Each structure stands twice: as C-alpha cells, then as structure tokens.
Chain A
Amino acid sequence: MTSLPSVFAHWFEQKGWQLRDYQHTMLVEKDQHDCTLLIAPTGAGKTLSGFLPSLVELAETFGMSELAEAFGTSELDEISENQELVKKTGTSEQAEIKAINKQATKGKEKDGFNGLHTLYISPLKALTQDIHRNLLQPIEEMALPITVETRTGDTPSHKRQRQRKKPPNILLTTPESLMLMLSYADADKLFGKLKRVIIDETHSLMANKRGDFLSLALARLSVLSPHCKRIGLSATVAFPETLGAWLAGSDGVANIVKVKAGEKPKVEMLHSKARMPFGGFMARYAIDDIYQAIENAKTTLVFVNTRAQSELLFQMLWEANKAALPIALYHGSLSKEQRRKTEAMMASGMLRAIVCTSALELGIDWGDVDKVIQVGAPKGVSRLLQRIGRANHRLDEPSEALLVPANRFEALECQAAITAIEKGELDGESPQPGALDIVPQFILNCLCSRADNPDTLYKEILTATPYQGLDRDDFDKLWQFTQDGGSALNAYERYQRLTKNDDGTYSPANRRVIQRHRQNIGTIVEAGRLKVKRIRRGNQGKIIGEVEEYFAQQLTPGDTFYFAGEVLRFEAIRDMQLHAKPAKAKEPKIPSYAGGQMPLSTYLAEGVRAILATQKSWRALPAQVQEWLKLQQSFSKLPSPDSVLVEQFPFRQAHYTLYYTFDGRKANQTLGMLLTRRMEKMGIKPLSFSVTDYGLSVASVNAITQGQLQQLFQPDILGDELEDWMLQAPMLKRSFRQVAVVSGLTEQRYHASQKTMKQVTFSTDLIYDTLREHDRDHILLKVARADAERELLDLRRLANLLIRYVDSATLVNLEKPSPMAIPIVLDVRSEQVKGAGAQAIIEQANLYAEAETMLDEVRALLSGSSVE
C-alpha cells in the first residue's frame, strides 16, 4: 500500500479496517483523471473513498511545508514534485508522527495548505452535517491539521464572513450555497486554489432542474479553478456512462470506477390476512402486520411516499403500540431541532422504528437498521433499492425489506419491483436538455461576481453537459431578458437588470439587483409555508415545523389536525405562524403537501403490464389480489400488453370511460386534458376526469361508441388539441410560475419578507396573460412551455403510448364499474372541464322558466321603444 501515508495506514490498522481495492485504486490514480465517477452500493464506504485523496494530499502538503521550513524554502510547488521525500518523514512510530503533527498544528497558522482545497457538494443539507461529523473523527484521531466546515443556508452570517476571509481546507456545502459563493466578487480568490470537488449522491442530480443548476455551477468553478478535479459518488444506476457524461462536462471524460454490488437484498411482499382495500393509500388494513414486523426486528425504517402518509401511519402505529415501543416520525416539514433530536436518538440506538419519507432516503448513516418496510407503492426500482440500502449498511450481508402495498393495484407494482430486483434490473432516467429558466439566473450570478460579455458566458454554459446543445439564438434571448426583461417588459425599471460598460462587458445595474438575486438563488420554488407554533400558554411556544399555506388557509379555529405525531387544535395565524395547541382528536385533518407524488417509472409500468398478461406469475401475489384479477377477468377483461383496455359504464349520473394506460400520472393527466377537449368537439360533453398512475377516468354526459373511441385515441390529438389546449391551459400557467421565479422575473423573497405563494401566483398569472397577449414570442413563454412538456405533461411517454396503441383501443361496455375500475373512479381529486358538459349540468339546475316568462315582458318593452 505505497500510496497510503503511514499515519493513515496506522489509523486504518488501529480501527481494524482495510483499504478496499477500489479505494486503493482511487488513491493511486488520484492525479490521473480529471474526473472520476465512483459507483458503489450503499455501505461500501463511498464517502470515505471520495475524501481520502484530499485528506492524503492535505496531510502531505502539510508535511511538505514542514519540510520546506527545514530547507528554508517556502515554495510549495517545487517540493510537491518530491513526494518521495515526504513519505520518508512518515515513520511507523505513531508517537513520532503525533509529535510532528503537534508541531504542525502550531505551524499551521503560517503554513500548511492555506485556503480551500476540497469542496464537497451534497444535495441534502442534513448530509453535510452528517459528513462533517464523520470526517472530523478520523481527522482528530490522526491529529491531521485539516480544517473542515459546513456552509449551507443555515450557516450564520458571521461564520460566512469568516469563511470568505479565511476559508477552511474542506468545505461541505449544497448546490445553492455554492452558487451564492460563486456570485461574490472575490470568488476567484476563494476558489482559485481548489484542487478537488466531490459531488455526493450524483445519481439524484441527473435529469432534474437541480442537477442542471449544479452542472452550471460546476462549469463556472472550472473557469475559476481550471485544475480542479471532479469526483462523483453515486449509487448504482442503470446508465453509468450518461451519469459520467453529466459529471465530466461536455468537454471532459469521466473515469468510471464500479464497485460490485453486494448481496442481493431479500425483498418480500406482505401477505396479510386482513382484507386489502381496492383503493386508498394509507394501508390501515396492514397496521398489525407492520407492527408485528417492527416488533420482530431490532431497528426498522418504515418508508412512505408522502408526508401526509407518514403522519397518519405514525398515528396508526401508536394506536397499535401495545408494548410502547419507541417509534419516531421524520419528514422534511418538521423543524430542524426535532429532526436533529430524532437523528441523535436513532444514532444512539434508542429507537425501534422511524416512520419516514424520502428525507431519509439519501446518505445519512443510521447505524444498525436491520429492516426496511416500504408502505405504499415503490414507484421505481432504483428508488426502492436506495431505500432498502438503508438497512444493514454492510456489503456482505443482504438487506431485508418488506413491501406493504396499500391497495390491490400497488400489489401488482410491488411484485413487478421484486421481480426486477431479482433480475438485477434498474429503471434509468434518460438525460434531458437543461432547463432554460436557470440560464438567466446563472448569467446574473456570473455578472455579480465580475463583468463579462455574452460570448464568453455562452461558451462557458456550453461546457455544462445538459446545456451543450443550447442554441445561440435562445441564449441571446435569455440574455436580453436578463438585461431588460424583453420587449413587453422593458418599459419597467425593475427589469433593467444589466448595464453595459464602456469596454463592452455587462454588470448588474445596481446593488439592489445583486441583493435581490442573491436572496433568490436556487431552483426549488417552494409552495408557501407557514411555521407551526405549538402554544403552551399565551403566545409562548415552540416552532415544531411547517405546513403549506393553502392547508393553513382552509382551517378554521377549533379544527384539529395531525402534526409532528400529535393532534393539534388550530388557534390562529399570526405573523406568518400557525398557532396551535395540543388537543384531543376530533376528526383530525391531515396536512397535505404538494409535490409529494412520484410518478410510476416506465420500467415498472412495463412490469405491471407483464404480470397482468401472464397468469402464471400471479401465484406470487397475495391471494386477495389474485381473486381480484380473476374477478376482473370474468366481469370485464384484463388489460393486455397489445391493446389499451377502455371500459365504459354509467356511474353517478354520468358516463364514465376508463383508460388503462399504466403510463404514470403525468402522462394520464395530459391524456385526460386532450381527450376531454376532443370529446367536447365531438359533442360528447365531458364533465371531469381523474387520474392515477395506472389509468384515466373521464366522466361525460353522453356515452361514447367504439367508432368514437377510435377517433379519440389517436396520436393526432397531440397536434390540434395539444396546441389549442396548451395556449389556455392552467398547466402552462403553473409552469410559468416556476419559470418566473427561477429566472428572476419575480421573487419569493425580498429583504426579510417571504411572499406568500398566493401573491406570487397572482402576479405571475397576470404577467403570463400579458405576455401571451402582447409578446407571444417572449423567451419565457417558450421556456415555460418546454418546462411544462418535461415536468408536467410527460409528452414523450404519452406520444409513445398513443403511437404504440393506435387503432388498438378496445371498448368494453359494462353495467357498473369493474373491480379494477373502482380504485380509479373513487379518486376524489378530479379535474373539472369547462364547456358544453358543464353548461348542460348547470342547465339542469337553472330555474329557467322564470326567465322565459319575463322575456316576453322585455319584448313588450323593446317593441314599445322601437315604436317611439
């Protein structure tokens, strides 16, 4: 092990650890590749391998500077070539090393590595804290003179100031904080000496806005510190090369180091004796089974898909908690203190189970979890594996997991996921071109740091992989927008954000522009949140977390709701805080959170179709699910892989048609919009539709015929209807809202005040209408449209569906809803359709005769006046 300095070797020995092969490789080859992507399953010691090259380098640089002093030179660069020399100073005698290190600590002020050496970027704030702890331990134990600090949105401003003046050797941060630091005028000094940047959980940054955002920040970083090496740490992914390309940038190549996966996890589906419901997402039926599983394991993580589910499941578990097991709750809306407390309790082994959301999915090391329970549909194989990986953080033992489907459809999905894991297959996301609304933010960010011209920045942006295909024309329009808002908005002073300097470069127009920009960096447009204050007496109390604004608005004083694992009674909203007191349950509501829903992956959808098609595979399913499928088979038909099943039946004073597409919520939503539009044209009078991941149900006044179905289910609805609808759809407004905030058209934050989402919505909707009317070609409209197509509509998937099943939709007429239809039609969240259908319904309720009789009276008046 030639590359490991003895102080490290000794420390490893003390711990009884051995450097793994790939860790060794990464260390030996640390200077050979500009970019390295490490792909390893959880529990393989990924994070340590990421930091090891940096720690060794820093330790060596330090050793060298000691040496340099001895030789009377202060030029570090000269000496760094003589690495061999340094190695000799490390002896096997620990005491001696310690002595040298002590000297080092003293001498550090003058020498050592001065400035920022390594930047660690994590998508989760919480992860930086965790890594900080884990990193300090070896550094202290080896007495290395290395400084490590975190820098996130929570970092107090005095600490930020100090970090700018005197940066630590290793800085742990998030993409947003990195971007903010890049906007400082002294960014070049801060990052000038940077040697390495480590990007943790790289897989979670592919094909989403935050990833696009980070790729731009990395592009900028490469300009400031051209010799900086990138290291990506990722869980196992379906397409490593694509991820490598993302990481390396468009002009680089990533060296991919793959670590063989450990034992395949043991995944089972719950076969409960209790009756499994057709619909719903709460898995109340299985509470006893879940509790049993928790009792039988040492420590369990119970994953659910949404925060609302976590609150409810937590309540139900405590109701069943006869043995009073310590069970805790963890989700992203709880206050920081609450979460820290739970984390600490978990780390010290005081808890038997935690009910949690995806907030605990990434990174954080949880010690001795020996079982993972997934309640509700897994939605994707990779996601499920990530969650299962939280159990048994050791490579050599298989993780154990139990899947608890909340309804019968989900049982199909669970089975598909189990099959995929057995086969070792993953669902992957294909790369997408970068989101354009980030570009104005990035332009302004760069200009805040130093004046520049469009040509240089354009070239810089092209080096970020998601943006390598960015059109110069689009870029110029985005630049124009950044400069003055574009043609419809340039009359307004507040959009004059850039001024041209005499040398042809551009700078922010004034300090306010810079300030506004810095306060609004990021891509996460938050739904408005209110802090929840748990009142003890008077106005005294503790902040225990946040709920969404719109949930708070629907509460009236006296209403009770579940939050942070207890029942609270709503008192009032004061100063953007929701005041509530602990109370007895009286039909408590559950806070709902937008954006908690995850779409079913294409891969799993295929799996579900395959299960339905092969009756042999049903044997693995719970008996109740098999019965359900058989019932469906005899009552109606089963969806088959080579045609789309469409059922029609009368229900609740309307005709319902059900399309079993299995193509995910977004694609179904879009299909619903387009179908109802065409139905409107054909005179079928649609009323509303509702979607699930599995299918779409449309309610209409009239029934449809097989002939009409053929006309409806055609790829050409993506032409006419889509165009029509896109122009006025609320969807576009919704994505415009996001685009407006990210691109800096409007802000969520200004000074200390956070705007409520309602205010943001109000103003962006109006701007949208204005632009539509007066500047149709405005770049932001184009961006909003692209955004809607990718984030909300899933057009690609829908197009595939329609083309694949052209002329092969089968209509089955039924007298009442089929067993499979029940969960879909029972979904209450339906979308209303304006048009003839709604008017027809309203007409039934209209007291029309009255107007008829008065019409005659008016006629008399009219004829009277015309005589005059």
Chain B
Amino acid sequence: MAITDAWLTEKVSRRHITITKYADYLWLLDARGVAYLPACDWLIVSDLHLEKGSYLRSYANPLPSLDSTATLTRLESIIDDYKPLRVISLGDSFHDKHSMSRMTFDDRQHLCRLVDSVNEWMWVEGNHDPDLPDGIPGTPCFEVVLDNMVFRHEVETSETRAQVIGHYHPKKRTTITRRRYSGKCFTNNENVFVMPAFGQFTGGLDIDEEVMLTLLPKRSRQVFMLYDNIIFKV
C-alpha cells in the first residue's frame, strides 16, 4: 500500500477518486478506470484487451499496434500510485489466443516487468482469453473469492454471493442542465458490480441498452461516470 491520507484527500477533492461501498467493502473508484480495495490492498482492472489493435489490423484495418503500449503505460502509472499487494485483471486481458505472438518485444518486456513488480497478479479468465498465453508471469484462475464476494469475468445468474465482473464495457450518457456528457462508467446494485473496460481500443455498451438493463435495472443501480479525468455519481 502506497497511498496516504493526504494523497487520497486531494484526489477526492479534485474528483479524481470517489468512494463507494459494495459487499461491505469500501471501494475507491479511480477516474482512470480502476477500482481499489483499501481493506485488503487489492487493485481491480478489467478488459485490458491487449493487442486488439494488431488483431483488427490482421483484418485489413490499417491500425497502428501501439495500443498495448498505451494501455500498459497507463496501468503502470496507476500501479505506481497504489503499489497494491494484489492485482486482479478481471478477464479479457488479452484480445485473442495469438496476442502474445503479435506483441512487440518491448511491450512483452514491459508487461512482464509490470506483473513481476506486484506481489501477486491474478489473471481471471475471460471469453477472449480462456487460456493464459505462455510465458506470462502471474496466476491464471477462473475466479477470485473474498469473503462473500466473487470476482469473475462474466455474470453467473445462479450465484448468491455478490459478484464483481467485467465483460460489458459499460458506458453512460447523461444530460446535466441541457448539456450532454458521455463516458465509461462503473455501475452496480446490491448483487453485481460491473467494471469499466480499461484497454485502449475498447468501445462501450450503453447501460441503458436492454442487455444491461436486465442485468442492472434502472431503479436499483448506481452509476459512477468517468468524464475528462474526473469521476462522479450520476
């Protein structure tokens, strides 16, 4: 743990961080798109989609493959701020099976360095990366459990414990005094907590779309929207 009272107070006052409670735990929601559990010093990040750029490129989309570099650089500065005991990457960390073979040498080094810098790095499997690529440090797993809370990539409808998931890339549009804003968001109710996607080329699914509404009906959900480097509750 590296964060201090002063640091946090400033971050909160500048709206870079907001705080919420979920499954009896206090959560720091960082406007950069990650969540932090101060009680156990865990950092949660979801949907990195590394090498999505090079994947699309192989389908003739002329994209530069620098998305991984950008994602890793952003993640590094966050890890540097929190220096967490454990990082949970909540699935879809790698865009596809062949991600690693396409990743540049520098990016691969960067990734390994980053994972090694943390005491424990959990790779939760996602629909894009059911198998962790070879040669990547860290622990692959299907889910992580903490008390009455379970961290998984996709939602499990029969689950009775509180779930923390990724997968949906939630996004919110809102109008405040006649002006429209839109951005990625954290959204949750009592049973489900959905993380925003962190990766560079990840789009978003509006939380008012039907799929999201069946998961989190309007009445029960709360939404924390990310906009221009600040986070606020909608």
Spell out A's residues near B (CB within 8 Å): 488-489, 492, 494, 652-654, 687-688, 745-746, 750, 759, 762-763, 766-767, 770, 773-774, 832, 834-835, 838-839, 841-847, 850-852, 854-855, 857-859, 861-863, 865
- B62 engages A767 (CB within 8 Å): yes
B18 to chain A, nearest CB (A): 5
Task: Decide yes or no whether B234 CB sits under 8 A from chain A.
Answer: yes
Provide 25 A-B residue pairs closer than 8 Å at the C-beta atoms, listed in order of the A residue: A652-B178, A654-B177, A759-B61, A763-B63, A766-B64, A766-B67, A766-B201, A767-B62, A839-B15, A841-B179, A842-B176, A844-B176, A850-B20, A854-B20, A855-B8, A857-B26, A859-B5, A859-B8, A861-B38, A862-B1, A862-B4, A862-B5, A862-B38, A865-B1, A865-B38
- B19 engages A851 (CB within 8 Å): yes
- Once bound together, how far apart are the Cα atoms of A822 and B111, in whole Å? 57
Given contacts A841-B177, A842-B176, A854-B19, contact A861 B232 (CB under 8 A): no
- A858 engages B8 (CB within 8 Å): yes
Q: Which residues of A contact B227 (CB under 8 A)?
A: 838, 842
Q: Which residues of B contact A687 (CB under 8 A)?
A: 179
- Once bound together, how far apart are the Cα atoms of A841 and B179, in whole Å? 9
Task: Decide yes or no whether B53 CB sits under 8 A from chain A.
Answer: yes
Task: Decide yes or no whether B9 CB sits under 8 A from chain A.
Answer: yes
Binary contact track B113-128/A, C-beta < 8 Å → 1, others 0: 0000000000000000
Task: Decide yes or no whether B136 CB sits under 8 A from chain A.
Answer: no
Given contacts A854-B19, A859-B8, contact A842 B232 (CB under 8 A): yes
Task: Decide yes or no whether B41 CB sits under 8 A from chain A.
Answer: yes
- B5 engages A763 (CB within 8 Å): no
Task: Decide yes or no whether B142 CB sits under 8 A from chain A.
Answer: no
- B64 engages A767 (CB within 8 Å): yes
- Once bound together, how far apart are the Cα atoms of A745 and B15, in whole Å? 40
Task: Decide yes or no whether B180 CB sits under 8 A from chain A.
Answer: yes
- A858 engages B61 (CB within 8 Å): no
- Once bound together, how far apart are the Cα atoms of A855 and B66, in whole Å? 37
Q: Which residues of B contact A654 (CB under 8 A)?
A: 177
Task: Decide yes or no whether B12 CB sits under 8 A from chain A.
Answer: yes
Q: Which residues of A contact B179 (CB under 8 A)?
A: 687-688, 832, 838, 841
- A854 engages B21 (CB within 8 Å): yes
- Once bound together, how far apart are the Cα atoms of A773 and B64, in whole Å? 12
- A834 engages B228 (CB within 8 Å): yes
Query: What is the chain B residue whose CB lies nearest that of A750?
Result: B60
- A865 engages B41 (CB within 8 Å): yes
A488 to chain B, nearest CB (A): 8
- B201 engages A861 (CB within 8 Å): no
Binary contact track B190-234/A, C-beta < 8 Å → 1, others 0: 000000000001000000000000000000000000011010111
- B62 engages A846 (CB within 8 Å): no
- B62 engages A746 (CB within 8 Å): yes
Task: Decide yes or no whether B28 CB sits under 8 A from chain A.
Answer: yes
A724 to chain B, nearest CB (A): 16
- A841 engages B176 (CB within 8 Å): yes
- Once bound together, how far apart are the Cα atoms of A841 and B19, in whole Å? 20
- Once bound together, how far apart are the Cα atoms of A185 and B225, in whole Å? 58
Task: Decide yes or no whether B146 CB sits under 8 A from chain A.
Answer: no
Q: Which of B18, B21, B41, B232 contacts A845 (CB 8 A)?
A: B232
Q: Which residues of A contact B53 (CB under 8 A)?
A: 766
A541 to chain B, nearest CB (A): 29
Q: Which residues of B contact A688 (CB under 8 A)?
A: 179
Most A-side CB within 10 Å, residue of B20, B62, B181, B233: B62
Given contacts A855-B9, A862-B5, contact A766 B26 (CB under 8 A): no
B174 to chain A, nearest CB (A): 8
Q: Which residues of A contact B1 (CB under 8 A)?
A: 862, 865
In B13-70, the 8 Å CB interface with A consists of 15, 18-21, 26, 28, 38-39, 41, 53, 60-64, 66-67
Q: Which of A745, A832, A834 contacts B62 (CB 8 A)?
A: A745
5 tightest Cβ-Cβ pairs between the two chains A and B? A770-B64, A854-B19, A846-B232, A861-B38, A834-B228
Q: Which residues of B contact A841 (CB under 8 A)?
A: 176-177, 179
Known: A832-B181, A850-B233, A854-B20. 13 other contacts (CB 8 A): A492-B62, A750-B60, A759-B61, A770-B66, A835-B228, A841-B179, A842-B181, A846-B15, A846-B232, A854-B21, A862-B5, A865-B1, A865-B41
Q: Which residues of B contact A834 (CB under 8 A)?
A: 228
- A763 engages B41 (CB within 8 Å): no
Task: Decide yes or no whether B3 CB sits under 8 A from chain A.
Answer: yes
Q: Which residues of A contact B66 (CB under 8 A)?
A: 770, 773-774
B58 to chain A, nearest CB (A): 11
- Once bound together, how far apart are the Cα atoms of A688 and B53, in whole Å? 33
Q: Which residues of B contact A762 (CB under 8 A)?
A: 61
Given contacts A843-B232, A855-B12, contact A863 B62 (CB under 8 A): no
Q: Which residues of B contact A846 (CB under 8 A)?
A: 15, 232-233
Q: Which residues of A contact B18 (CB under 8 A)?
A: 851
Given contacts A687-B179, A850-B233, contact A862 B12 (CB under 8 A): no
- B63 engages A858 (CB within 8 Å): no
Given contacts A842-B176, A854-B19, A857-B26, contact A862 B3 (CB under 8 A): yes
A765 to chain B, nearest CB (A): 10
Q: Which residues of B contact A855 (CB under 8 A)?
A: 8-9, 12, 19
Q: Which residues of A contact B39 (CB under 8 A)?
A: 861
Q: Which of B38, B63, B234 contacts A766 (CB 8 A)?
A: B63
